Structure 1
């Protein structure tokens, strides 16, 4: 196989597959290798046998209906924002032709011991059970400010400057209570801590706008999800890369990484030697070139035979438990899916809970979420250390992705994709706009 390539990619996680797809489309000669025999790396979807052999190898599987392959359980539960960057990349690259999406039925937030739907527009704010009558009016005023804000029309700014006022100052301008700030900041802007309150308001404004526009796109919730699980996403980008001449090798461990001086030069595998000036890899391939972020994520996959109590029997929901509500520093995320997403057999529900660990008894930290779920048939837990590259890759040609965080959507992952793309090519990733008809055609199965 001794051959020369423009780029070698190690690991088939989503970040790596998006980049190999984008670079292949641009005419680069890409070789993509994974030591595992399935796509997706850390972001794969596993069938029932794979799931139990990974998380409970010695335990007796509960008596669950359906075939092995009727189960597609995500190792890393995340939803796509309908108007978010990952959706834009999917539409821009036309990978949507390989994947069918379904909406997530609702977006909920935990407040004062119970869950309620996140109001996504002025009308819902007025009906919401989250607020008293006067607070509803203030929330309505805040959402009107967000939707009417126009950079070039000072009268819409209400005396606020998004680049110098902090988000807390913006909230206070509208007189919002702490509980309301909680659900706007955590369930709409999707921040996982409260650090944003003392930072300038623009990033939060942009996040709330993304949320509201994503809901407006298809109604119900801002989230969409691929049929058969998130493992479909890396495979879609892998197909894209292959169409443009990319070469894929699964089940191929790396025997040696080659350097010329300090620079990456290629890899040796059982198939021979492949050379390239740069490599893109997930953190597991270069343990000596990554550092721990200091955070660990715990994820619990809960198998249930009923929908989530208090959600009107929706087939899928996202619930965010803001950290303040349960005396934590990080939010707890719950993603619930069912057979309509082709990830479990009929009659089953999958709830995946995730958060950043804060204590020595991480499973206890998930209790507030478990209380909301009700009866569970089985629970499988995993803990993952989070890594990031120790350097930007410019000096040695080794470009490493970050671990997938605890957030419940892909915005931080696509930030990493754009950052890597810029470091590798020296130019920003520009997604071309498609016409509305192209875009609607792009996302199959969504009304």
Structure 2
């Protein structure tokens, strides 16, 4: 049996799933293939049993494995895997993300969700708090509003004025301002101190808790753009600039895009991968592809591979991200430092227990931790639909310059410090924890296929990065298909195909503000 399509996509990670939905809605015949038995690839959401299986498959010795190119590539990318504990009760009620993220309330991903109609299939919760780790049992809250800044007794009046000057600068079109001239590549923290005469402690808060820099040496221009983006996201759905996706976040959104793609006519084939490289040319299509375990042959004009597909990728560098997923059954109590305590006469502080939060460990704040790199801890609970009542998920991540050090060695001090926030300083033990290192990949095109670039792993940018990459790949794919049609003498419409056509039965997409 022969299956016919315009495009075959390999891998259902987030950018590939967005691309599949956009191409299908534009009228192209799509076949979407994934070697896994679940959607999402490296951005998938899994329950506890599934993530243990995921870890075992990627950590088993190669000699015990049947030939599988995909698993071999995955073993090269995911290393230093270890876990402890046993699956908690109701283990299937947990939604654990392989790519934890917070989503800016204004940006490419939110626009893509609304314009595609996928927002109908997803739910979100505001990120309640961003805090800097201070000491065992204590955090320093990061102000959300100007009122929070002016009520902070640890900031002098002159520093508050300097902060307001910086916020005025960063909220506007600063690219051509005199303050930035010749300083675009200066380390961001040096730019803040020299240009706005901010105290180092205040500058560090901006660097790590507003710009989410991994290092104080990151250049000023991209960090300023992130701060402007996040400040502009405040107030759209509430006081926080960020949303946390329900049921694990990006993995749930993947399923929404795949659903839209399938409704528009795409065919999905899971648990199978190509068993032979494409061959061509054919009389009508460019390529013929065979899949493992299937008698069908797929003929297509274009093959698009995600970064996780084995053939176009290789681990050519030693950099990556150390990750940990931990499940706890006691809440973290966000006890503020004395400086964060509301002034006398202010309304009482809200409950210190939060359901969603991001804790940031700046470099050198933790004995035994990194002196050069920041670590992030995302907390999600019942309100994000990711854990049963009375349980929370901790996602720890930190960029690595040297992947030879195990993820558990790197992140265990941060996990222990985070757990001191439970029960006001008395450390608890997670019921289950998983450590692993995700290495970056390089890629090179061959046999005429298109490659979906790797997206950023920065927790506040990965969702938007996926949407931007997907739109770029949509334009590239349409150009390639148009070129083939011209070669065959097929007339091509002069009007460019929109990334997302207008939603049927809807007014302006701008009116769709709530889900």
Fold match by TM threshold 0.5: yes
Are 1:219 and 2:242 counterparts?
no
Residue 124 (1) aligns with residue 148 (2): yes
What is the SS of the residue equivalent to 1:209?
helix
Partner of 1:64: 88
Counterpart mapping for 1:323-334 below 5 A: 323=363, 325=365, 327-334=370-377
Shift in Å, 1:47: 1.3
C-alpha distance in structure 2 between counterparts of 1:422 and 1:163, whole Å: 34
Could you list the runs of 5+ residues in structure 2 that have no partner in the other structure?
58-81, 336-351, 421-427, 480-495
In the alignment, the residues of structure 2 paired with residue 436 and residue 143 of structure 1 have an alpha-carbon distance, to the nearest angstrom, of 36
- Specify the SS of the correspondent of 1:285: coil
Residue 279 to residue 178, structure 1, CA distance change in 2 (3 Å): farther
Q: Distance in 1 between matches of 2:24 and 2:152?
A: 48
| Pairwise CA distance, 1:48 | 2.1
The partner residue of 2:407 within 336, 359, 362 is: 362
Bigger-Rg structure (1/2): 2
Quote the offset at 1:112 in angstroms.
7.2
Task: Please say if 1:238 is aligned against 2:258.
Answer: yes
Distance 1:418 1:329, change over 3 A: farther
- Computed over aligned residues only, the root mean square deviation of the Cα atoms, in angstroms, reads 3.3
1:372 aligns with 2:395: no
Q: How does 1:4-403 map to 2 (within 5 A)?
A: 4-55=4-55, 62=86, 64-65=88-89, 67-110=90-133, 114-128=138-152, 131-147=155-171, 149-150=172-173, 157=177, 159-161=178-180, 165=184, 166=186, 167=188, 168-169=190-191, 171-197=193-219, 199=220, 201=221, 203-230=222-249, 231-260=251-280, 265-269=287-291, 270-310=294-334, 312-323=352-363, 325=365, 327-358=370-401, 360-366=405-411, 367-374=413-420, 375=428, 376-391=430-445, 396-402=448-454
SS at match of 1:256: coil
Report the 3-state secondary structure (helix = DSSP H, G, I; strand = E; otherwise coil) of the residue aligned with 1:258: coil
For residues 139 and 321 of structure 1, the distance between their equivalents in structure 2, rounded to whole angstroms, comes to: 22
In structure 2, the CA distance between the partners of 1:443 and 1:195, relative to structure 1 (3 Å rule), is farther
State how far apart, in whole Å, the 1-side matches of 2:513 and 2:474 are.
Answer: 24
| Contact in 2 for aligned 1:418/1:428 (Cα 8 Å) | no
Deviations 1:129-172 (A, max 9, x none): 6645543332122112323x3579x9xx5x43468655544652
Separation in structure 1 between the aligned mates of residue 13 and residue 146 of structure 2, nearest angstrom: 39
Q: May I ask how many residue pairs the two structures share in their alignment?
A: 432
Deviation of 1:208 (Å): 1.2
Q: 1:425 to 1:132 in 2, by over 3 A?
A: farther
Q: How much does 1:308 deviate? A: 1.9
CA contact (8 A) 2:502 2:509 kept: no
TM-score, normalization: structure 2? 0.74
CA distance in 2, matches of 1:128, 1:219: 21
CA contact (8 A) 2:315 2:439 kept: no
Contact 1:14 1:40 (8 Å CA) reproduced: yes
Paired residue secondary structure (2:247): coil
- Displacement of 1:52: 2.6
Cα 1:288–1:95 shift into 2, 3 Å: closer
Q: Assess if the C-alpha contact under 8 Å between 2:192 and 2:203 holds in 1.
A: no
Q: Could you list the runs of 5+ residues in structure 1 that have no partner in the other structure?
A: none
